Chains A and B, each alone.
Chain A
């Protein structure tokens, strides 16, 4: 009797566990294909608006307030916050099952990714029509409207600018008599001095969830006139400009100017090292001053863009988009909602909700935004001169479908950055770029 019940228990446990395995490991399969049509012009209804937490909890409050105020042509909008932790799956599920939003924000490549699948309502009519008349088109910072344009049309418009400027610690620089570097050579000299004080001059990380390491490496390539794609949107990793830039980064690592443990640093680990005064110069987001806590928050400042040996300036940025989806009760209402949103979204910046830099001149020039010295420095010295480039550089001004499959947060990019940031790695820049070129080609669709 005991044996029987024991066997029954284990069999049940086994079957249950096997079901669990299937459910867990094959969760990825729980989406379905299906064409997205929609897009009629109903006389009224509710438009789904999805947005991610781009800032502090105050962001959600302000954002909800903006959406609650929309009412036009019998349409209102509902608000749904999508967490970053699962935003990829949420959008994939929503798009494939036609339960997604009518209007939403997205990651740097979300709009081009779903435009490729026929899910996105192109914005050219709106930009060249109503937005030209009401002045919104001219209000965008230079080059912004081209960032999300594909050969088929404009997939979205920049909503906030996620930039990667250089930061330094003013207090430590003053203490050790250092000048803010403006060239690669000056930067190396600064790093060498900092090393003698036990401080790292190349502060980045590439651990769990932290892709700043790869962004920084890409940034130095763009800085040197390079990047990952040619004008045919094909991978072009193995170029002279990239090799020179990677040689420079490898030198920074191998000379001991970066933390030897940084290859597995999370964002928080990097901020902790800034707080510990172990990092005095590095690459990060526009919001770094808010992310490092304590006294260091007021010690850090945005540095000058570096000039590479090729005479170029430049770094990487992500034009995070706002986009319209085909799965909507009314495409006209979509246009009304996104227009309303752009005309009323200023409080997200003026109320200091922590969102990235604004894409509109009118908001960027608002004293509450430009009054922040770091924001002002980024807008004046990094954004306005147009030195920031997208993943598509050097051959493209914007992003496109294969960027999402190859370099935007893919696993090989983490691996590449971790190899670069490992001091004991003895591969040459040429070897690494040749191998990465093959990897990128394998990821292309």
Chain B
């Protein structure tokens, strides 16, 4: 193939024409007809699934939007009230208390589980005995159903005769009420969240660390970098994409985490540990106030989408760099 022929072929390729010719080869119309027929068949097969997906995803969202503009119950939508539910939710002190705790719960849940997960992932990279067994054992909090974990933690902390309060008393901390004291209850549910979430972060970070070329570490060592410099200048940047992805996912997990709070404290004592998702549930299913409950869920979703987009852009930045 001459140079002219190659450049011509490349030009044709850029114009979307096959290198083998102009697209007007003998029998081309027949082939195009077959392609159109194939595309049609493909679409016919795909259409039911696409329609089903659209229905499953969009119908509830649109219907929820409609419900959030009404003031009714689970059976009857009730009167149309425009944006009154949103206004009443946004002007309610309880909503902002729940929003603040949701923020705290999410920040602690994301960064706490990430820090523990990354630390353990780094530890498990070293040559420690029974490495495989530790990995499996450390996964247990994530693998075990939340209802079982919550029941176990309740057994650990709920009554003054439970193991942890007994231990705290023996250590001279007095009668520690892990769930009945509002501040301690907040701390307890946050620690519980970190505990059940760190294995996920450990897995994510382990896989990210595994993909880092060890030659980079050797080069840094040769250049005289200490452990902290290696960690902050090499390890963290190298796993940053995975870190951002895991932060997005964990943010979504934390904000939407219903069972952790509901099973451990149900939002109490005195609403101290109430998050927005628990508040939305209570409004709809306990207080029989569907409009305000769905409005809360919508507001939550909007904030979550904004946070996710911001973090997603961070990933794109990392990709560009």
Measured CB to CB, the nearest residue on chain A to B319 is A3
Say yes or no: is A415 at the interface (Cβ < 8 Å to chain B).
yes
A265–B75 CB distance below 8 A: no
Measured CB to CB, the nearest residue on chain A to B62 is A29
A17–B249 CB distance below 8 A: yes
Partner of B159, one of A23, A273, A409: A273
Partner of A25, one of B76, B159, B300, B312: B300
Say yes or no: is B196 at the interface (Cβ < 8 Å to chain A).
no
Say yes or no: is A278 at the interface (Cβ < 8 Å to chain B).
yes
A208–B286 CB distance below 8 A: no
Measured CB to CB, the nearest residue on chain A to B179 is A264
Say yes or no: is A261 at the interface (Cβ < 8 Å to chain B).
yes
Measured CB to CB, the nearest residue on chain A to B244 is A10
B286–A260 CB distance below 8 A: no
Tell me the A204-225 residues at the B interface (CB within 8 Å): 206-209
Say yes or no: is A7 at the interface (Cβ < 8 Å to chain B).
yes
Partner of A208, one of B177, B266, B284, B297: B266
A26–B180 CB distance below 8 A: no
Measured CB to CB, the nearest residue on chain B to A86 is B285
Q: Which residues of A contact B269 (CB under 8 A)?
A: 263-264, 418, 422
B60–A29 CB distance below 8 A: yes
Q: Which residues of B contact A208 (CB under 8 A)?
A: 262-266, 268
Say yes or no: is A342 at the interface (Cβ < 8 Å to chain B).
no
Q: Which residues of B contact A263 (CB under 8 A)?
A: 180, 268-270
Q: Which residues of A contact B248 (CB under 8 A)?
A: 10, 13-14, 17
Measured CB to CB, the nearest residue on chain A to B261 is A208
Say yes or no: is B63 at the interface (Cβ < 8 Å to chain A).
yes
> When chains A and B are docked, how far (Å) is the Cα of A206 from the Cα of B159?
13
Interface flags, A412-439, vs B, CB<8A=1, else 0: 1011001100100000000000000000
Measured CB to CB, the nearest residue on chain A to B64 is A29
Tell me the A1-27 residues at the B interface (CB within 8 Å): 3, 6-7, 9-11, 13-14, 17-27
Say yes or no: is A233 at the interface (Cβ < 8 Å to chain B).
no
B252–A20 CB distance below 8 A: yes
Stretch at the interface among B38-46, B113-121, B301-309: B301-309
A276–B161 CB distance below 8 A: yes
Given contacts A23-B57, A27-B60, A264-B265, contact A7 B289 (CB under 8 A): no
> When chains A and B are docked, how far (Å) is the Cα of A172 from the Cα of B11?
96
Name the residue among B60, B67, B74, B316 with the largest chain A CB count within 10 angstroms: B74
Q: Which residues of A contact B185 (CB under 8 A)?
A: 264
B312–A26 CB distance below 8 A: no
Say yes or no: is B282 at the interface (Cβ < 8 Å to chain A).
yes
B270–A260 CB distance below 8 A: no
Given contacts A208-B266, A209-B266, contact A21 B301 (CB under 8 A): yes
> When chains A and B are docked, how far (Å) is the Cα of A7 from the Cα of B159?
49
Measured CB to CB, the nearest residue on chain B to A22 is B61
Given contacts A26-B64, A92-B74, A418-B270, contact A261 B158 (CB under 8 A): yes
Stretch at the interface among A30-38, A183-191, A358-366, A380-388: A30-38
Interface size for chain B: under 10, 10 to 19, 20 to 34, or 35 or more residues?
Answer: 35 or more
Say yes or no: is B267 at the interface (Cβ < 8 Å to chain A).
yes
> When chains A and B are docked, how far (Å) is the Cα of A419 from the Cα of B281?
21
B180–A443 CB distance below 8 A: no
Name the residue among B75, B175, B267, B285 with the largest chain A CB count within 10 angstroms: B75
Say yes or no: is B288 at the interface (Cβ < 8 Å to chain A).
yes
Name the residue among A19, A208, A263, A419 with the largest chain B CB count within 10 angstroms: A208
Say yes or no: is A376 at the interface (Cβ < 8 Å to chain B).
no
A117–B73 CB distance below 8 A: yes
Given contacts A3-B319, A88-B285, A208-B264, contact A30 B63 (CB under 8 A): yes
Interface flags, A391-426, vs B, CB<8A=1, else 0: 000000000000011000111101100110010000
Measured CB to CB, the nearest residue on chain B to A35 is B76
> When chains A and B are docked, how far (Å) is the Cα of A418 from the Cα of B294?
26
A142 to chain B, nearest CB (A): 31
Say yes or no: is A119 at the interface (Cβ < 8 Å to chain B).
yes
B256 to chain A, nearest CB (A): 6
B271–A10 CB distance below 8 A: no
Say yes or no: is B238 at the interface (Cβ < 8 Å to chain A).
no
B293–A17 CB distance below 8 A: no
16 contacts between A and B (CB under 8 A): A3-B319, A11-B312, A14-B308, A17-B249, A22-B61, A25-B280, A28-B293, A28-B297, A29-B294, A30-B63, A117-B76, A207-B268, A208-B264, A261-B160, A411-B287, A414-B267
A residues lining the B interface (CB < 8 Å) = 3, 6-7, 9-11, 13-14, 17-33, 88-89, 92, 95-96, 113-114, 117, 119, 206-209, 259-266, 268-269, 272-273, 276, 278, 404-405, 409-412, 414-415, 418-419, 422, 443, 445
The 8 closest A-B pairs by CB, nearest first: A29-B64, A92-B74, A208-B266, A411-B282, A26-B64, A25-B297, A264-B179, A261-B180
